[in-house]
């Protein structure tokens, strides 16, 4: 009898874990839609990711969360975050110039192009890591500086985020609507990478 009760408890625990994981997956997909909507003005994408990540953190900690709180976070993050968004588009423009140099056959073009792409990947990862830990009132400059250090010190986590961004790009290339919910999964991945790094940093 005790064995059957233990088996029943194990099944209940497994079902609860499955429900929690599926619930997080569904919430991440919904958050991706919210992020895409908030990023439509083009320069608001850092604020959109920051608000999406904070929404998922609240969901994971079982705090009240919803679109109203998400919208409030977008408004708070965009006050300085729009400058980060402008900087991101400027960086993309510079990378486009580098790639044009590669295609034109200028001496050293391939090296410059590779360095530019690597720098852009690092900037994207740092931006995602900064957004994953954003809180209202935080300085974007300080967040990005700290995230840049973590990007270098945690190459494994940074590589995972590059893979997540690549999935979004491939989804957009294949079927554009598929990329929208995947944005939420990337935000969730950034949170997981930051939590993993924090646990490793705190370990003796």
pTM of the entire predicted model: 0.87
Contact 85, 124 (CB under 8 A): no
Interval 121-162: pLDDT, tens = 999 999 999 999 999 999 999 999 999 999 999 999 999 999
The one-character DSSP state at 136 is T
Average pLDDT over residues 86-96: 90
* 1-57 pLDDT tens trace: 455 665 556 554 444 565 566 677 889 999 999 999 999 999 999 999 999 999 999
Whats the size of the chain, residue-wise? Answer: 204
Question: DSSP letter string over 56-72?
Answer: HHHHHTT----HHHHHH
Residues 6+ apart with CB under 8 A from 167: 182, 185, 186
Q: Quick check: 113 and 82 in contact, CB under 8 A? A: no
- Nearest of 133, 164, 125 to residue 56 by alpha carbon: 133
Whole-number Å distance between alpha carbons of 75 and 80: 10
Please check whether residue 44 is in contact with residue 74, taking contact to mean a CB–CB distance below 8 angstroms: yes
State the pLDDT confidence band at 78, using cuts at 50, 70 and 90.
very high
Q: Which residues contact 57 (CB under 8 A, 6 or more apart)?
A: 191
Q: Give CA 171 to chain center in angstroms.
A: 16
For the chain, what is the radius of gyration of the CA atoms? 20
């Amino acid at each position: 009898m005790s064995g059957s009760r233990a088996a029943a408890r194990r099944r209940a625990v497994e079902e609860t874990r499955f429900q929690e994981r599926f619930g997080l997956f569904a919430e991440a997909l919904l958050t991706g839609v919210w992020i895409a909507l908030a990023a439509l003005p083009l320069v608001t994408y850092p604020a959109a990711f920051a608000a999406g990540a904070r929404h998922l953190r609240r969901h994971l900690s079982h705090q009240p969360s919803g679109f109203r709180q998400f919208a409030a976070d977008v408004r708070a993050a965009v006050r300085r975050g729009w400058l980060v968004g402008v900087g991101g588009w400027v960086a993309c423009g510079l990378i486009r110039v580098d790639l044009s140099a590669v295609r034109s056959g200028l001496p050293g073009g391939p090296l410059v192009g590779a360095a530019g792409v690597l720098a852009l990947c690092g900037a994207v990862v740092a931006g995602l890591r900064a957004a994953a830990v954003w809180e209202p009132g935080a300085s974007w400059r300080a967040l990005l500086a700290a995230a840049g250090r973590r990007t270098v010190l945690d190459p494994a986590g940074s590589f995972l985020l590059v893979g997540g961004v690549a999935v979004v790009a491939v989804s957009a290339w294949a079927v554009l609507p598929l990329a929208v919910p995947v944005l939420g999964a990337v935000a969730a991945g950034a949170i997981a990478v930051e939590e993993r790094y924090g646990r490793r940093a705190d370990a003796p």
